[in-house]
Structure 1
Amino acid sequence: MAKNIRALAAKCCFSVIDQGRSLSDELPKKQDLLEGKDKGLLQEICYGVIRYLPELEHDVRQLMQKPLTGKQRVFHFLIIVGVYQIKYMRVPDHAAVSETVAATSALKNRHMKALVNGVLRNFVRQQQNETQDEALADAVRFNHPGWFIKKLQAAYPKNWQAILQANQVKPPMWLRVNQQENSYEDYQALLTNADIEIKNIDKFSQAIELTKAVEVTKLPGFEQGWVSIQDAAAQQAARLLDCQAGDVVLDCCAAPGGKTCHILEQTPQIQSMTAIDIEQDRLTRVSDNLSRLNLKANIIAGDAASKDWWQGEMFDRILLDAPCSGTGVIRRHPDIKWLRKASDISTLVELQQQILKNIWSLLKPGGTLLYATCSILPEENREQIKHFVEQTADAELLAIAQSDDDIGWQLLPDERNMDGFYYAKLIKKAS
Structure 2
Amino acid sequence: MSKHPLPRQKDLRADAAWVIYQILEAGKSSRECLNAAQRRHSAKDSAWLQEMTMGVMRQLPQLQLWLRELLEKPLKGKSKIVEHLLLLGLYQIAFSRVSAHAAVSETVNACSTLGCHGLKGLVNAILRRFQRENMAQQLSDDPVIASGLPKWIVNVLQSHYTETEVAEIVAQTNTVAPIWLRVNQQQITRTAFIQRLDEQQVKYQLSEQHADAVILQSRTDIPSLPGYGEGWFSVQDGAAQYAARLLNPQAGERILDCCAAPGGKTSHIVELQPALSECIALDNEPSRLARLTENMQRLQHEVTVLEADALDIHTWWDGIEFDRILLDAPCSATGVIRRHPDIRWLRKARDIEALCILQQTMLEKLWPLLKTGGTLLYATCSILPQENREQISRFLASHNDAKLEPINDNETITLPGRQILPGEQQMDGFYYARLVKSAS
Other structure's SS at 2:373 match:
strand
Deviations 1:288-331 (A, max 9, x none): 11111111111111222231211211100110000000000001
Pick from 155, 173, 179: which aligns with 1:173? 179
Q: Hey, what does 2:51 align to over in structure 1? A: 44
Matched, 1:415 2:435: no
Pick from 149, 162, 181: which aligns with 1:157? 162
Number of aligned residues: 429
What is the identity, as a one-letter code, of the residue corresponding to 2:430? F
Other structure's SS at 2:305 match:
strand
Cα shift at 1:404: 6.5
Q: Which aligned runs of 4 or more in structure 1 are off by greater than 6 angstroms?
A: 402-405
Q: 1:184 to 1:383 in 2, by over 3 A?
A: same
Deviations 1:116-137 (A, max 9, x none): 0000000011226844442x3x
Contact persistence 2:258–2:283 (CA under 8 A): yes
Pick from 140, 146, 149: which aligns with 1:144? 149
Q: Hey, what does 2:9 align to over in structure 1? A: 2
Other structure's SS at 2:70 match:
coil
Distance in 2 between the 1:235 and 1:39 partners? 28
Q: Hey, what does 2:436 align to over in structure 1? A: 427
Cα shift at 1:401: 3.6
List gaps (5 residues or longer) in structure 1.
none
Q: Hey, what does 2:115 align to over in structure 1? A: 108
Distance in 2 between the 1:383 and 1:129 partners? 42
Pick from 390, 403, 407: which aligns with 2:397? 390
Deviations 1:374-422 (A, max 9, x none): 0000000000000000001100001114877751000000011100000
Distance in 1 between the 2:113 and 2:68 partners? 24
Other structure's SS at 2:334 match:
coil
Pick from 318, 328, 337: which aligns with 1:321? 328
Q: How does 1:185-204 map to 2 (within 5 A)?
A: 185-204=191-210
Q: Hey, what does 1:269 align to over in structure 2? A: 275
List gaps (5 residues or longer) in structure 2.
1-7
Q: Hey, what does 1:381 align to over in structure 2? A: 388
What is the identity, as a one-letter code, of the residue corresponding to 2:421? L
Contact persistence 1:175–1:229 (CA under 8 A): yes
Deviations 1:238-276 (A, max 9, x none): 110000000100000101111001101111011100111
Contact persistence 1:205–1:235 (CA under 8 A): no
Of residues 264-273 and 210-219 in structure 1, the stretch that sits farther from structure 2 once superposed is 210-219
Distance in 2 between the 1:341 and 1:176 partners? 32
Cα shift at 1:192: 1.8
Q: Hey, what does 1:210 align to over in structure 2? A: 216
Contact persistence 1:396–1:428 (CA under 8 A): yes
Distance in 2 between the 1:399 and 1:205 partners? 22
Of residues 248-257 and 308-317 in structure 1, the stretch that sits farther from structure 2 once superposed is 308-317
Q: 1:132 to 1:5 in 2, by over 3 A?
A: closer
Other structure's SS at 2:10 match:
coil
Q: 1:403 to 1:190 in 2, by over 3 A?
A: farther
Of residues 125-134 and 3-12 in structure 1, the stretch that sits farther from structure 2 once superposed is 125-134
Cα shift at 1:200: 3.2
Distance in 1 between the 2:373 and 2:135 partners? 66
C-alpha RMSD over aligned residues: 1.5
Other structure's SS at 1:425 match:
strand
Q: TM-score, normalised by structure 2?
A: 0.95
Contact persistence 1:397–1:425 (CA under 8 A): yes
Matched, 1:349 2:324: no
Contact persistence 1:2–1:8 (CA under 8 A): no
What is the identity, as a one-letter code, of the residue corresponding to 1:278? N
Q: Hey, what does 1:256 align to over in structure 2? A: 262
Q: Hey, what does 2:286 align to over in structure 1? A: 280
Other structure's SS at 1:250 match:
strand
Identity, in percent, stands at: 45
Contact persistence 1:205–1:232 (CA under 8 A): no
Q: Hey, what does 2:101 align to over in structure 1? A: 94
Q: Hey, what does 1:53 align to over in structure 2? A: 60
Distance in 2 between the 1:335 and 1:218 partners? 27
Q: Hey, what does 2:3 align to over in structure 1? A: none
Contact persistence 1:364–1:428 (CA under 8 A): yes
Of residues 399-408 and 112-121 in structure 1, the stretch that sits farther from structure 2 once superposed is 399-408
What is the identity, as a one-letter code, of the residue corresponding to 1:53? L
